Amino acid sequence: METVKKILEIKLKSDLLCASGLGSANIIDIDVSLLDNGLPYIPGKRIKGILRDAFCEEKDFGMFQGIEVSDIFGDIGGKFSTVKIGNAYIKGSDEITEYLSSPDQKFKNFLNNSTVTDYYSYLRTRTTVEDGVAKDGSLRSMRVIAKDNKFCCNIEMLKSEVDIINQVCKAVKHIGMSRNRGLGEVMFSLSDVKEKVPFDFDKKIEEDKSYKLKLLCENSEDIAVADFFGNGTDYICGSSLLGYFAGWYIKKYGDKSFNDIFLDGNLIFSNMYISNKNGNEYFPLPSYFMRDKNNGKKIYNRAAGNPSVAVKSLNGKYGAINGNIIELAEIKKTDNYHIATENGCVKDGGLYTYDAIKKGQFFNGEILGQGKYIKYIVESLKENPKIKIGKSKTSQYGNLDVKAELNSEDKQQTLKTKKFALQFISDLILFDGKGNNDVSIANLKEVLSNVFDVKTFTFYVNAGTVGGFNNKWNTQRNSYNVITKGSSVIIELNEEQNINCEYYLGEFIYEGYGKAVITSFNELKEYSLKSKVKVIDNSVAVNTYVAPIIAYGIYENIYNKITDNTLKKSNNFKDASYNSIIGNARVILKTAKDYESFYKELGNIKDEAKKAKAQNLFSINESEINNIIAEEISALNSISSEINWGKIKMQYVNSLITAVKYAQRKTEA
């Protein structure tokens, strides 16, 4: 079944309220879905639901005979969806995000997350009317995305479904809340994808040679992967990678040689842990490291001696060790709210959340195997360098952009030593000689003794439980007791020897279980925790998508400075005569096209004293304004933005009116 990738474009023909289910600091009752950098987006699950409803409506009118909605969009516990949809982001979001991650410092006073959000959206209010009067306590505020903005998302479907989806897109007219109150009118359309250059592995893959395929992945969407207990994980498990590539293989080659390739341990898919864009690795910290309770910057090595201060565990933390410095890695998570519907209505108890890994983070892992097996992984990545994993991967979640490097494994890295630390990078599943799940210290000793000529052991291990869920059969997988990742063993050999620096031990190693790394035993008792320092790279230039947002932020700064300046003069406007002047000015302001026409109209005030006072009040000293907003004028010039003096002068007029009203109220009080 050949698949086709398209871009789904969404044009807003009216303001849009695509609610996130959250408010904001008692100011906004209903907020839109926002990224961390302030950019609005439309969740993929929302888009898929709209397309599904449109399909059903078209089918009710006699379209798509012989095709059921579940054939395309899937159903719970049954058919999988053949349509896969990502989140829809504002046009130019990639360029904006790239700039915001490394902003030019000269614009730091004008550009922040709130500026980005306010550029694309604004606040609206509404009340409930009862007997022609607003009901007490009914005022509500909501943020809406302004009309004429465009959103784009990736959509994947079977080639045979392109015409159907195209027809469904034409049937979509509205999305979001308050559709019957003028919001959410949209136009959906499909366009072709500009294909990226696929992977170019220039190395010839030899059938019987061992290879390591290093993967560096960035999640372009949130990823929802869960452990045995349904809790979201902070890493990508090897079984998820295996599942993706196994699914690709079945679609392309059927089940021929499937077990040999994927289930007999001939390919090993490691877990993928947090990294950075340069591929620096952060692993689960050894369980013998403990943090000082009173001084979080100090880490103690229990294996080198028990600390004399109160300490706490670092289990579940990831870090990189360099000498006596430990750098912790931060995995950003998010809770996303969703509602399950049935027949167009919310199901009872239908509110649920996904504990997900936030988009825009990097993860590092590897796939090991002989050339005759690894070639299928390479072929898959050549066809599509984007993979989908985890929950709801057909809508909104699970996209990974992959970079890969293929290396031969003829020579493994070795260490010549007599005493070393063995650390489990992933959970370890062990069976005893009778096939029973056994993670006792005695069984672990036996396993390690079969690998090394051991003189003494010192164990720092923790136990846990793992399992999973089989989406195809909608059933829970078997659960197993494990020795958890981060568990460590200090081993002293009978004599010095060369040992490999990496092992896979125990069961289910093809899913990433049982990975262990070897390092020299360090007698150092105390380590320092490195503070994370954000490095600003000024190499990202202001682009055509960012420049208008910066200009918007600059003008907001201009308005704030002008308002502050006029309010400082409010003590000069306490005279009661200013009341009628402001009344006249407000009437004139409603019809004035610009400052010049406004000021000219002031000359028509009949009372000569009031006219003179009004003209004196609203005359503008341009050199004074230039001094107030000199920094902003310089910033506008640097992005080649034409300065809108008319807009600035009108803001000055409005701020003067505000200052006079403020002074009059203070006088009355």
Q: Are residues 170 and 224 in the same domain?
A: no
Q: Output the CA–CA distances (angstroms, integers) from residue 142 to 118, 130, 311, in the order listed.
A: 13, 21, 47
* Measured distance CA(277)–CA(324) in Å, rounded: 24
Which residue, among 156, 277, 283, has the nearest Cα to 219 in the 3D structure?
277
Whole-angstrom distance, CA of residue 120 vs CA of residue 123: 11
Burial state string for 342-379 with b = 16 or more CB within 10 A and e = fewer than 16 = eeeeeeeeeeeebbbbbbbbbbbbbbbbbbbbbbbbbb
Q: 357, 391, 408: which is the final residue of a domain?
A: 408
* 30 and 163, same domain (yes or no): yes
Instruction: Answer yes or no: do 253 and 329 share one domain.
Output: yes
State the CATH number of the domain containing residue 492.
2.60.40.4350
Task: Note whether 252 and 349 are same-domain residues.
Answer: yes
Measured between alpha carbons, how far is 186 from 97 in angstroms, rounded to an integer? 25
Tokens 């360098």 map to which residue? 385
Best CA proximity match to 368, nearest among 233, 502, 507, 250:
502
Q: Is there a domain that residue 561 lies in?
A: yes
Residues 400 and 437 in one domain: no
What is the model's pLDDT at position 507? 92
Strand partners, 459: 489
Q: Terminus-to-terminus CA distance in the chain, angstroms?
A: 77
What are the phi and psi torsion angles at 58 (to 5°)?
A: -65, -40
Residues 403 and 427 in one domain: no
> Residue 158 CB: number of other CB atoms within 10 A?
16
10-residue block means of pLDDT along the chain (669 residues)? 88 90 75 90 92 92 88 80 92 87 75 90 88 85 92 92 93 89 91 69 82 92 78 87 92 89 92 89 91 90 89 89 88 84 73 87 93 93 88 88 85 88 94 92 94 94 81 69 94 93 92 92 87 48 84 90 85 79 84 87 86 86 85 85 85 86 76
Residue finishing a domain among 377, 408, 439 = 408
Same domain, 341 and 442: no
- Indicate whether 218 and 113 sit together in one domain: no
Query: Taking the complete model, does pTM exceed 0.85, yes or no?
Result: no
Q: How many structural domains comprise the chain?
A: 4
In a domain, 522, yes or no: no
Q: What is the CATH number of the domain that holds 314?
A: 3.30.70.1890
**Of the candidates 480, 471, 488, which has an alpha carbon nearest to the alpha carbon of residue 507?**
480
Name the pairing type of β-strands 333-342 and 41-42.
unpaired
Domain for residue 116, yes or no? yes
Q: Which residues of 564-575 are buried (b: 16+ CB within 10 A; e: fewer)?
A: ebbeeebeebee
Q: CA torsion, points 614, 618, 624, 630, in degrees to nearest 10?
A: 170
646/631 same-domain check: yes
Is 541 part of a structural domain of the chain? no
Tell me if 531 is assigned to some domain.
no
In Å, what is the CA distance from 600 to each residue of 1, 446, 580, 595, 607?
A: 72, 96, 18, 8, 15
Label residue 246 left, alpha or beta by phi (over 0 means left) and psi (-120 to 50 means alpha): alpha
Length of the chain: 669
Is the same domain home to 256 and 361? Answer: yes
| DSSP output for 186-204 | EEEEEEE--PPP-----SP
* Shared domain check, 420 and 403: no
Whether 619 maps to a domain, the answer reads yes
- Domain-located, residue 529: no
On whether both 349 and 494 belong to a single domain, the answer is no
**Are the CB atoms for 335 and 249 separated by under 8 Å?**
no
Residue 252 lies in a domain: yes
Half-sphere exposure in the Cβ direction for 2 (13 Å, CA): 4
Residue at which a domain ends, from 387, 408, 429: 408
Query: Half-sphere exposure of 82 toward its Cβ, with a 13 Å CA cutoff?
Result: 19
* Residue-number span of the structural domain to which 656 is assigned: 547-668
